[in-house]
Amino acid sequence: MGQVKQKSSVSSRLQALWWLSSVIKDGRSVNDVLSTKLKKSADLSDFPFAKQLLFGSLRYYHQIKAILDQLLEKPLKQKDLDVYSILIMGVYQLKHLSVPDHAAISESVELAKKIKKPWAARLVNGILRNYLRQAEQIELKLAKAKTFQFSHPNWITNQLDADWGEQYQQILEQNNFQAPMIIRINSAKISLEDYIQELNSAGLIGAKHSVAEDALVLESACDVNKLPGFDSGLVSVQDAAAQLVVELLALDEQTKGLKVLDACAAPGGKTTHILQRYPEVCLTSVEMSEKRIQKIEQTLIRLGLDKQAKFKLLCSDLLDLEHWWDGEFFDRILIDVPCSASGVIRRNPDIKLHRKKQDLINIVQLQAKILCTAWSILKPGGKLVYATCSVFKDENENQIKNFLVNNHKAKPYRLAPKIDNQMAKHSQTGHQILPGDQQMDGFYLCGLEKPY
């Protein structure tokens, strides 16, 4: 059961309610709502508890929905999804947090009044009190339902079961844990050892990651602005699995004059990792969203990488070669393709609510187009890295197997032995990382060498 470290007022719950309603009612992502300003009535000191309510309510949304289905006589109307959000948060506090029952209920009732729906106050009070009285009976009835057990939509549970058999329950369980905060040191500015000392001086603790060379795992998550030297570009937040992409690109083999393409560049983590490690390569990064291009530019400035003479950042659809490609083939290509994001649910629990099975079909088709397009502009003898933050086989190992049927001379290659030997072998082709493997997110990466 989660611990509540401080007395938390209605304002923190109100802020969490605005966030949660935006996700449930308006279809916004967690990252999107957290990037918006706090409501005027919110106390900044309550931010951690509000965030805890948001993430916890989303992680256990499907489990709590199953409970509420037993308690509500009829579903609430679309316009009252904010009231439904109050109920989700209320049951989450009663079931998963150490909040006193009376506080969870009374302040949930107060929320109904705060959103100017006094009629809902009685409903919220009755439903939450009925849950307390009937919890054991309801949960016994739901015990065998996978939606209740693992708090995922059935299509995700079924897909993971089909892909991973006995391991699927472990993946589902990992998705409901809080992921560790992992940072990437800007090796162009500071060493890993020196930055650990900087952390210690700031009262923070970080340990070297087991396989990612530039990664530190923080003992406790913190606001990025509390990281020493964040504003001056000493460090970035990036999961260790994503940091392995640069290793698989094998840029150490030849750097001067090497033409490299980051074909799906946003949010810029891999572009900046390449530039800080290999400033002498000729890197082109392509991203189709102007808004995300601006975020990449801001990150480049923060890291001091915006003045690289051999670097080009282009706003274009990768598939529209006539619009952006100058006809010169690339020695290395990275495609971190759009995906279901099923490997990062623990960081983005809204994926459980927003992603649909049909989305997976469309995404797999798009991935295949991107892979074939990127392959067509790779030099003979060049290397391409295909990556996703997914754990679904159709996006990963099966996608590569299908590609190799039509490009059978393409040669898959692996990470260097010093890293490969430490990795779990979950796939025959490429590297499949499952959530929680060596503290990493779910991720897939595969190297492909083009024959001469």
CA nearest neighbour of 314 among 273, 239, 263: 263
Q: How far apart are CA 42 and CA 10, in angstroms?
A: 9
The DSSP bridge pattern shows strands 443-449 and 206-208 to be unpaired
Identify the active-site residue in 282, 339, 389, 446: 389
Q: Which residues of 88-108 are buried (b: 16+ CB within 10 A; e: fewer)?
A: bbbbbbbbbbebeeeebbebb
339 is catalytic: no
CA nearest neighbour of 449 among 365, 385, 363, 356: 385
Q: How far apart are CA 415 and CA 432, in angstroms?
A: 12
Which residue in the block uniquely carries the two structure tokens 């088709």? Answer: 365
CA nearest neighbour of 179 among 356, 389, 337, 6: 389
CA nearest neighbour of 181 among 219, 208, 212: 219
The residues that are catalytic are 389
